[in-house]
Amino acid sequence: MITGAAGNLGQAVNEAFTQAGARRVLVDRSSDRLTQVYPDLNRDEVLLAMGIDLAEPQQAQGLVQQALGHFRRIDVLVNTVGGYAGGKRVHEDDLSNWDAMFRINLQTTLNACRAVIPQMLQQGHGRIVNVSARAALTGVPTLGAYSASKSAVIRLTESLAGELKDQGITVNCILPGTIDTPQNRKDMPNADHSKWVPPAAIAEAIRFLASDAARAVTGVALPVYGRS
C-alpha cells in the first residue's frame, strides 16, 4: 500500500515495487489523479484507491477494508503523503499553517498506520515505512511547523517499532534530503541539482526496508541525502 502514490516520490516507490513483482494499492486524495498518472495498469495487480483523505481516520479504515477486499492481506505500508510550507518565523506564522503541517505530515501517517496494524498483527507479519525529512533532526528557522511535524513522524515511528517488534512487524522511516523534482528545480533554479537525491534512490531505500533483508531493522530513521 503506497499512500501519496500520484506524487513524485510515490511514483518512484510504485516503480520500485513493480520491479519487485509486488501487487500494489495506490492511494491518493484526488478523485482522478491516479488514473491520469497510471492510465494503463493491470487492475488484477493494482488497486487504485482514489479520493482518500488519510487525515480522516474513518477514510483510512475504509481504505484498509477496500484493500483487504481486493487482495486479502496487507504486507507493506509506505507513507509518502506529506506537505511543505514555511518562510515565516514561529511567532509570525499563522496557527492554521501549524494545523496544516501536522494534518498532512503526521495525521495521515498516524491514521494509515493505525488502520493497517490490526491486519498485520493478525498476519504476524508486516513492514511499515514512513517518510520524515532531514529538517526533522533539528529546528530550522522559518520552518518551525514543518520541522516539528516531521520530527513527530520520527517519534511515532520509534514508538510503533518498540510496540510491534515482537509481533513480526518492523517500522522505519526515511529522511530524504532535497529531492530532485521538477517543482524543486523550478523553485531553486540556481542550485546544484546534481547534489540532490533522485526519487528513485529514495524508493530503493524504502524497498530495502520493506524486504526480508531488513527483517532485523526496526525503529530506524535512515538518512537518504544524496550529496545535498
pLDDT at position 81 over 90: yes
What SS3 class is residue 168?
coil
Mean pLDDT in residue range 139-144: 93
Fold classification of 2-224 (topology level): Rossmann fold (3.40.50)
pLDDT at position 80 over 90: yes
Element (H, E) at 186: helix 182-187
Lowest mean pLDDT among 43-52, 66-75, 177-186: 177-186
Mean pLDDT in residue range 135-147: 94
- Residue bearing cell 511547523: 145
Determine the number of helices (DSSP H) and then strands (DSSP E) in the chain. Answer: 8, 7
| Average pLDDT along the chain | 94
Q: Which tens digit of pLDDT belongs to each residue from 175-211?
A: 998 887 878 888 788 888 888 889 999 999 999 999 9
Q: Which tens digit of pLDDT belongs to each residue from 155-169?
A: 999 999 999 999 999
Mean pLDDT in residue range 114-137: 97
CA 17 to each of CA 20, 111, 120, 122, 206: distance values in angstroms, whole numbers, following the listed order: 5, 23, 19, 23, 9
CA 85 to each of CA 22, 30, 40, 100, 219: distance values in angstroms, whole numbers, following the listed order: 33, 20, 33, 9, 27
What are the extents of the domains in the chain? 2-224
CA angle, residues 80, 85, 87, in degrees to nearest 5:
150
Q: How confident is the model at residue 86 (pLDDT cuts 50, 70, 90)?
A: confident
CA angle, residues 55, 57, 58, in degrees to nearest 5:
125
> What is the C-alpha separation between 155 and 134, in angstroms, rounded?
14
Mean pLDDT in residue range 63-86: 95
Burial of 56 (0-12, 13-18, 19+ CB in 10 A): middle
CB 169 within 8 A of CB 128: yes
pLDDT at position 228 over 90: no
> What is the C-alpha separation between 216 and 206, in angstroms, rounded?
15
Q: What local confidence, expressed as pLDDT, does residue 85 receive? A: 86
Mean pLDDT in residue range 44-58: 95
Q: What local confidence, expressed as pLDDT, does residue 11 receive? A: 96
pLDDT at position 52 over 80: yes
Q: What local confidence, expressed as pLDDT, does residue 223 receive? A: 96
Q: What local confidence, expressed as pLDDT, does residue 226 receive? A: 85
Query: What's at 85, amino acid-wise?
Result: A
Q: Percent of the chain at pLDDT above 90?
A: 83
